[in-house]
């Protein structure tokens, strides 16, 4: 942190007092990720000067490291020629991201002016959904035939060394470009020059289809501890590859999105600077909460005579509502995380729901016993309610049974709801925000006051 602070101070000094040559030399010493952090802290005019002096090759590596909002502002201020030069230096996956952020007419002009081969790659990738394997893959790779020799493979790698970065595997294809194997670089380097690829390659290839969701791709990287993953079309033809750095970005983006959804905010919240747009984006979630709490209020209103007769019931209502909401959100968060990491087997959802429900029941039983004991010490043997007396044992039983039942059902709902959303292809993270809290509030109130009405008014009196 201290070093970053020093770099920022040095940059500010050079921007204020230094020449372009001094600034250019300073920028050349910084890693693209470090430079991106400094650029985010600079003023718009300072960013313009920095990008004017950055070589296109360095700028192409810095721009993807900058946060989306700052990057969009920078792109708006770059000249057309600067954008063309930067896109020309980018790997195809990063070029697609940049081009897709441009206005349609500007994007068309850029694609017309970059190298024809690069333009065709970008156009091809733009056809794939943004959050699919095709949307995050790059088409720069090294592929050879099975009958090629080791020396021929090394020559092919040398030819493509400028375009193909982070090379870990050479892909082996047949005459129709279908993927038939992979060749690890370590085996390649240790082999004899005249050995055939067919003798060295692995045929049990882990691959993904071009239409696979990016979250599933990330899970495959995690499960198999991969550096690179080949992407094939429906016929098994090799169309691209996904590297670990692409997946890191996916995982970070998905985590950001899930946290925002769990907080009841839209996924663009972090990038939005307009307070009116941010407020408008949050209103749908707040509306759900508002309607849910109105239902809770209606339940309380329905039992207002009971609460008037026995004011002590209101003492425990906030506790029961809070415990129900917390247990529901805990269960939902565990399930959402499990679905995101692939640790939940969707074939065993019944067992999962039962497991979480039993946990909710056990916790509810413990807390229920505590509340029963508390009522005996906190209140006298009888509680005066209007013109009647109610034994504290009845009040304690109502509170204890209610919280046990509420926490059990809340755990069940918190577990089941994300799984239901997943079944209908809706992001399960949505379940943890407004739905669980409002549902559990209304349900807790209904169970508690309904049980109080049954046991205290009908039976105890």
- How far apart are alpha carbons 402 and 324 in whole angstroms? 10
Q: What is the pLDDT of residue 387?
A: 47
Per the rule left: phi > 0, alpha: psi between -120 and 50, beta: everything else, 321 is alpha
pLDDT beyond 90 at 144: yes
Q: What is the pLDDT of residue 461?
A: 47
Q: What is the pLDDT of residue 240?
A: 95
- How far apart are alpha carbons 284 and 336 in whole angstroms? 21
Cβ atoms of 288 and 438 within 8 Å: the answer is yes
416 CB neighbour count, 10 Å cutoff: 19
Give how far Cα 269 sits from Cα of 68, 243, 253, 257, 277, Å. 12, 28, 13, 9, 9
Q: What is the pLDDT of residue 365?
A: 95
Domains of the chain: 2-130 (1.25.60.10), 143-243 (3.10.580.10), 275-460 (1.10.357.20)
Q: Which of 84-93, 215-224, 371-380 has the lowest mean pLDDT?
A: 371-380
129 CB neighbour count, 10 Å cutoff: 12
Cβ atoms of 389 and 303 within 8 Å: the answer is no
pLDDT band at 278 (very low <50, low <70, confident <90, very high): low
pLDDT band at 55 (very low <50, low <70, confident <90, very high): very high
Closest CA to 118 of 91, 152, 147, 156: 91
Q: What is the pLDDT of residue 285?
A: 67
Task: Tally the C-alpha atoms within 13 A of residue 376's C-alpha that lie toward its C-beta.
Answer: 9
Cβ atoms of 217 and 246 within 8 Å: the answer is no
Q: Which of 7-21, 36-50, 200-214 has the lowest mean pLDDT?
A: 7-21
Radius of gyration (Cα) for the chain, nearest Å?
31
Q: pTM for the whole thing?
A: 0.65
Cβ atoms of 81 and 47 within 8 Å: the answer is no
């Amino acid at each position: 942190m201290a070093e970053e602070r020093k770099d920022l101070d040095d940059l500010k000094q050079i921007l204020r007092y230094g020449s372009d040559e001094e600034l250019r030399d300073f920028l050349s010493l910084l890693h693209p990720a470090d430079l991106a952090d400094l650029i985010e802290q600079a003023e718009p005019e300072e960013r313009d000067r920095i990008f004017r002096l950055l070589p296109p090759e360095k700028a192409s590596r810095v721009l993807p490291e900058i946060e989306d909002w700052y990057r969009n502002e920078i792109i708006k201020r770059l000249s057309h020629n600067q954008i063309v030069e930067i896109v020309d230096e980018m790997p195809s996956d990063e070029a697609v991201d940049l081009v897709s952020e441009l206005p349609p007419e500007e994007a068309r002009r850029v694609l017309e002016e970059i190298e024809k081969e690069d333009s065709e790659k970008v156009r091809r990738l733009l056809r794939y959904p943004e959050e699919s394997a095709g949307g995050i893959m790059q088409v720069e790779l090294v592929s050879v035939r099975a009958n090629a020799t080791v020396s021929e493979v090394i020559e092919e790698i040398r030819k493509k060394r400028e375009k193909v970065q982070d090379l870990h595997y050479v892909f082996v294809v047949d005459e129709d470009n279908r993927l038939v194997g992979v060749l690890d670089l370590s085996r390649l380097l240790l082999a004899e020059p005249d050995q055939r690829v067919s003798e060295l390659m692995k045929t049990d290839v882990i691959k993904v289809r071009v239409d696979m969701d990016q979250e599933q791709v990330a899970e495959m990287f995690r499960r198999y501890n991969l550096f690179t993953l080949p992407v094939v079309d429906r016929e098994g033809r090799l169309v691209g590859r996904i590297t670990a750095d692409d997946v890191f970005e996916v995982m970070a983006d998905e985590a950001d999105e899930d946290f925002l959804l769990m907080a009841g905010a839209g996924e663009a919240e972090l990038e939005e600077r307009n307070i009116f747009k941010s407020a408008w984006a949050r209103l749908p979630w707040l509306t759900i909460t508002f309607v849910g709490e109105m239902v809770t209020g209606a339940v309380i209103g329905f039992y207002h005579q009971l609460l008037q007769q026995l004011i002590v019931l209101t003492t425990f209502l906030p506790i029961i509502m809070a415990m129900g909401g917390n247990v529901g959100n805990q269960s939902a968060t565990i399930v959402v995380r499990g679905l995101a990491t692939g640790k939940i087997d969707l074939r065993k959802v019944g067992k999962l729901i039962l497991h979480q429900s039993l946990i909710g029941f056990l916790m509810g039983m413990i807390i229920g016993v505590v509340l029963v004991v508390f009522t005996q010490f906190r209140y006298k043997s009888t509680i005066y309610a209007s013109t009647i007396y109610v034994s504290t044992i009845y009040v304690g039983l109502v509170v204890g049974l209610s919280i046990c039942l509420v926490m059990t059902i809340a755990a069940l709902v918190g577990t089941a709801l994300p799984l239901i959303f997943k079944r209908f292809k809706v992001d399960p993270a949505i379940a943890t925000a407004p739905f669980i809290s409002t549902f559990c509030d209304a349900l807790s109130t209904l169970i508690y006051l309904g049980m109080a009405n049954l046991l205290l008014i009908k039976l105890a009196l």
